[in-house]
Structure 1
Amino acid sequence: MTRKKDPLRSTEWFGGHEKGAFIHRSWMKNQGFPPHLFDGRPVIGICNSWSELTPCNGQLRDLAEHVRRGIFEAGGFPVEFPVMSLGESNMRPTAMMFRNLAAIEVEESIRANPIDGVVLLAGCDKTTPALLMGAASCNLPALLVSAGPMLSGSFNGEVLGSGTDVWRLSEEMRAGTISPEQFSAAEAAMSRSPGTCNTMGTASTMACLSEAMGITLPGNAAIPSVDARRRVLAFMSGRRIVEMVHQDLCMSRILTREAFQNAICANAAIGGSTNAVIHLQALAGRVEVPFLLDDWNRIGRNIPTIVDLMPSGRFLMEDFFNAGGMQAVLRRLLDAGRLHGDCLTVNGRTIAENNGAIRVLNDEVIRPMSNPLTEDGGIVVLRGNLAPNGAIMKPSAATASLMTHRGAAVVFEDIDDYHARIDDPDLEVDEASVLVLKNCGPRGYPGMPEVGNMGLPRKLLQKGVTDMVRISDARMSGTAYGTVILHVSPEAAIGGPLALVENGDMISVDASANSIVLEVPDEELARRKANWMPPVPPASGFERMFSDQILQADEGCDFELLKGRRGAAVARDYV
């Protein structure tokens, strides 16, 4: 491999015989690094979001060693560094509140240190966009290695999917059809190996879309976490990043507008998480790619969902991998003419070159385009006087008969109000009602938690009701399902129309017309707005920074001051 002709970025630290270079090399050598590692070879950062508090990422410490071996073999100098780890299963109030904080840490760690390229190790759903966002703002050569999904679960002879079956079993327990003891017994059966959720939740979605955008090596998305082939992929990623540095293959050459368009199409095909909308909007802002919420409608509509995975379908990620994984999905989309096949990927080849000859190994798991799980699987963007800046829903996880609906609002002012009243026998609600949850958006909770898929009232569950229209400014887990309208923008906490909804107001939803309407006269809404009082902002700390800087859902919930590429220019050395 021919070395990069221009001086490497790390040469600013380690090259020459000045006092500063002496200091930088000498202190690094106290770790046992030999002198020849400072001979001008690429210094490759291994950005590791490993943590025992983030179960999905628990195996990344092992994968880092395989990345390290690949870097050494290709003639690079690997240096591992930690970043804040975001685990949705443990963090409160929600890991989403810290995505931008982790992205800041990634960006500044890369910029402040002698790094020429970086391998990003991510797993749980917020870690993938956080690491990509931070690295994209520096725009060095980078590629992603995902933790990989956990093995399939099984309970009482039935397949058990992480996340998805939590919501199902929880509703069954509340309805009285299973006991608390049975519910508890499912815990160990669900999570039987390290790895991310084995359903098409946000972690799997972001891994799949990263592969569709070309920022990972082919095959990265679906290899199970404990499969030896994931270690091989990590090793090969270590080798490849050294070559990328020599080729100056920066992230902005991969993450183009066409790559984002491919991600929208891929998300429809896999029945991907609604959270992908927010994360891709934020990532596009970092690489300065024009990308609008309405692109999801314009590009993603009429693309069928062909991956039969929970929560939209039946199978799990291990089945998906055995059926050909994301490469097989991309082959289907390429054959249908739905992708920009000429998009460059991190291995130096195009999407079409990487995936055009891949075989689909199971037509049940990855269906033909002519026999889809859902005819129109793209994210639906709704607009109207209830959501002037947009709201979204996921058709592949919804009940078809509820995609067009009109019902009376049952309003919960916040999540505490919801928990206090949802199972009240006197709650005035029926199956035609529309559940409305306020003040759970980016500022309102704060952090925009995954509570949008509100559990149904117990008295309706006991009658056999399994779905209702639910509307909120919150998010929902990618493993969840139901006719759930999310990300209402502007949110209630900043005085959006959602804040003005009252019990009994009629709400009309028509997904085919991309419409959501609060049937209240403008004069009455103006009267309510005049009496609305904003919540008291946080007094100090990160929560105050978050509240002051956070953008709304339609803009990706990034911080205003973080949008754009700031590059990786080397600061002056003052030593």
Structure 2
Amino acid sequence: MGLRSAEWYAGDDRNAYIHRAWMRRGLPDDAFTGRPHVAIATTASDLTPCNSHLGEVARSVANGVYEAGGIPLELPVVSLGETLVRPTAMLWRNLAAMATEELLRANPVDAVVLLGGCDKTIPSLLMGAASVDLPAVVVPGGPMLTGTFRGVPLGCGTDVWRLSEEVRGGTLSEQDFLRSESAMIRSRGHCNTMGTASTMSLLAEALGMVVPGLAGTPAPDSRLLEGAHGTGRLAVGLVAADRRPSTVLTRASFHNAIVALAAIGGSTNAVVHLLALAGRLGVELTLDDFDRIGADVPLLVNLQPAGRHLMEDLHRAGGFLAVLREVRDLLDPDALTVTGRPLVEHLDEARVWDADVISPRGEPLLPAAGIAVLRGSLAPDGAIVKPAAASAHLLRHRGRALVFDSIEDFHARIDDPDLDVDADSVLVLRGCGPRGYPGMPEVANMPLPTKLLEQGVRDMVRICDGRMSGTAYGTVVLHVAPEAAAGGPLGLVRTGDWIVLDVPARRLDLDVDPAELAARTPDEATVAGYARPTRGWERLYVDHVQQADRGADLDFLVGSSGSAVSRESH
């Protein structure tokens, strides 16, 4: 088949003349006659600090593309810095995906290399590429190196939560807390814990969209640039093979991603990203698939927040392929990768070099570590919990609700010494779902009341229609659907109601008479906390965002649209 870019460049008419003339800028004549044009979609930005090094990575990709006979073209796309963007980076994931899709469709490119790292960048790039379905491959930007403070390794994110709670509990001085700030981020790269950035980089490889063995390579490691160069060469080959996301991202690939998610103790945020990506492809994937496929998969990776080590350790211990080899029998052998070969065929040479970081299959950290999907009167369409990050004694729990109507309400009251709360209370935060906030922020892992921290309490059951950081830990029930702002029963809970959590039975129930619950209406304070944007992206988002159990994508973006352009330029 002919090159897509030839639709712009081939011929002698005025349009072809304009396209070639404006794009020459030093390119040789044969750049427009049979050489694939490969976009390098980069999320490099100084305001996305975890991705700020991707300019260097893009140059290595470009060298590989040119060496293989292609024409590399750098294409900046929307970049989202998890630590900076307000009100929450998740609000903009769908916008970034839509912009990526539209730019790839609108431009004369035959394939794309996707450069991302920070939490939302890889999901948005994959969603956009899947929707336009041009040959595509991902180069993850890689985790940062491990920083240390007072001789102890620091897990960025996880140790922020831990140290800040120690300050509130009176066991760490504020001065020492602030001293740790300059040691937290040692190098370029994304978070070094098994947070969302690390999780989505590895899952992109499990899905088949990364050259096997590259994901998890630390950002400062020269082997990342070597892998980027090779990926550039591969991208040219993808055009000749006509290997598109729709041929790689199959139901078998999502099966493998769910197995991998459990084995690495990955972020709960992966659930909404995988569901949204599947929706773009028309792959049938539901919330229950995460429980069915992943619930009994053992936790093998000893990384924060579920364990002790960090991403640099995982790489030296054998890397992601060594983890996958341990669970090879659970993987779907038919799932392909961008290399054209099945994922399982890339596992033969993998080895575990440090069993304290990557546990053998027979000696797992936890025998069953997948995401647990809960249903019941408080979550009719589902909620999730990560048992590997929870406290075992709280996985079955009955307690009285302490309700907060917004994150502002929570911050205003949580440290009140007169707050009626004890260790058995269940903290409930609502108005934080996709529609209610808007954007489903990472606030579900609510800080504990100061007076309980001072008593030594370090975990409580917490329930929210929002998300939590992949670097967070605790017995947190999140992604409750429907959210309160969409009419879910979470909006009807009152302080003092009994809530029953039973993770082994997969239940989350409000122990209130159904007749009484049916007669309730949301309090004025609850409704007042919901977002009501009047213009711009937030208005579009609130009007069209789906619930968490559907991946929180926009309803009109479900399904791919292909690469065809409806009209030519004139």
> TM-score by structure 2 length?
0.98
Which residue of the partner structure matches residue 445 of structure 2? 453
The one-letter code sitting in structure 1 at the alignment partner of 2:66 is F
Deviation at 1:478, TM superposition (A): 0.2
Checking the alignment, whether the CA contact within 8 Å between 1:15 and 1:40 is kept in structure 2 is no
1:289-348 deviation digits (Å, cap 9, x = unpaired): 0000000111111111110000000000000000111110111111xx100123110012
- CA deviation string 1:430-458 (max 9, x = no partner): 00000000101101111111010000000
Indicate the residue corresponding to 2:423 in structure 1. 431
Give the letter aligned to residue 427 of structure 1: L
CA–CA distance in structure 2, aligned partners of residues 414 and 183 of structure 1? 28
Report what 2:112 is aligned to: 118
For residue 531 of structure 1, report the CA deviation from its aligned partner: 6.6
C-alpha distance in 2, partners of 1:570/1:422?
Answer: 53
Matches within 5 A, 1:8-407: 8-29=3-24, 31-334=25-328, 337-407=329-399
> Does residue 515 of structure 2 align to residue 520 of structure 1?
no
User: What one-letter code is carried by the residue in structure 2 that aligns with 1:26?
Assistant: A
2:549 maps to what in 1?
A: 554
- Paired residue type of 1:182: D
Task: Give unpaired runs (5+ residues) of structure 2.
Answer: none
The alpha-carbon deviation at position 530 of structure 1 amounts to 7.3
Amino acid at match of 1:117: A
Aligned to 1:7: 2
Does the CA contact (< 8 Å) of 2:491 and 2:522 recur in 1? no
**C-alpha displacement at 1:538, in angstroms?**
1.4
- CA, structure 1 residues 330+460, in 2 after alignment: closer, same or farther (shift >3 Å)? same
SS at match of 1:46: strand
Determine if contact 1:70/1:236 at 8 Å carries over to the other structure.
yes
Per-residue deviation at 1:573?
A: 2.1
Quick one: distance in 2 between partners of 1:165 and 1:68? 37
After superposition, the C-alpha distances for 1:359-384 in whole angstroms (9 at most, x for unaligned) are 11111101011111111100000000
Identity of aligned residues (%): 56
Question: Match of 2:389, as an amino acid?
Answer: A
User: 1:24/1:160 Cα in 2 relative to 1: closer, same or farther (>3 Å)?
Assistant: same
Which sits farther off after the overlay, 520-529 or 153-162?
520-529
Mean Cα deviation higher: 66-75 or 486-495:
486-495
Quick one: structure 1 residues 289 and 35, their matched pair in 2 at CA, closer, same or farther if it must change by over 3 Å?
A: same
Amino acid at match of 1:213: L
Structure 2 distance, partners of 1:69, 1:373, is 42
> More deviation in 347-356 or 41-50?
347-356
Q: 1:140 to 1:174 in 2, by over 3 A?
A: same
Q: 1:355 to 1:369 in 2, by over 3 A?
A: same
Query: How many residues align structurally?
Result: 567
Cα root mean square deviation, aligned = 1.0
Does the 8 Å CA contact 2:94/2:124 hold for their aligned counterparts? yes
Write the distance in 2 (CA, Å) between the matches of 1:326 and 1:501: 42
Any idea what the Cα deviations from partners look like across 1:77-134, whole Å, max 9, x if unmatched?
1111111101110000000000000001100000000010000000101001000000
Deviations 1:154-192 (A, max 9, x none): 100111101000000000001111111111111111101
Q: Which moved more, 1:349-358 or 1:175-184?
A: 349-358
Aligned to 2:535: 540
Unpaired stretches in structure 1, ≥5 consecutive residues: 1-5
The residue that corresponds to 2:455 in the other structure is 463
Tell me by how many angstroms 1:61 deviates: 0.6
TM-score computed with the length of structure 1 as normaliser: 0.97
Deviation at 1:536, TM superposition (A): 6.3
**Residue identity opposite 1:398 in structure 2:** A
- Please report how far the alpha carbon of residue 574 of structure 1 lies from its aligned counterpart in structure 2 after TM superposition: 3.9
**Structure 1 CA distance for aligned equivalents of residues 420 and 532 of structure 2:** 32
Give the CA deviation at 1:570.
Answer: 3.3
Alpha-carbon deviation of 1:270? 0.2
Task: Give the whole-Å Cα distance in 2 for the aligned partners of 1:51 and 1:287.
Answer: 28
Q: Which of 451, 469, 473 is the aligned partner of 1:477?
A: 469
| CA distance, structure 2, for counterparts of residue 488 and residue 530 of structure 1 | 16
What per-residue deviation string (whole Å, max 9, x for no partner) do you get for residues 458-509 of structure 1? Answer: 0000000000000000100000000000000000112210000111100000
Answering whether residue 559 of structure 2 is matched by residue 567 of structure 1, we say no
Q: Conserved in 2, the CA contact under 8 Å of 1:207 and 1:220?
A: no
Which whole-Å CA distance do the structure 1 matches of 2:39 and 2:531 have between them? 42
Shift of 1:427: 0.3
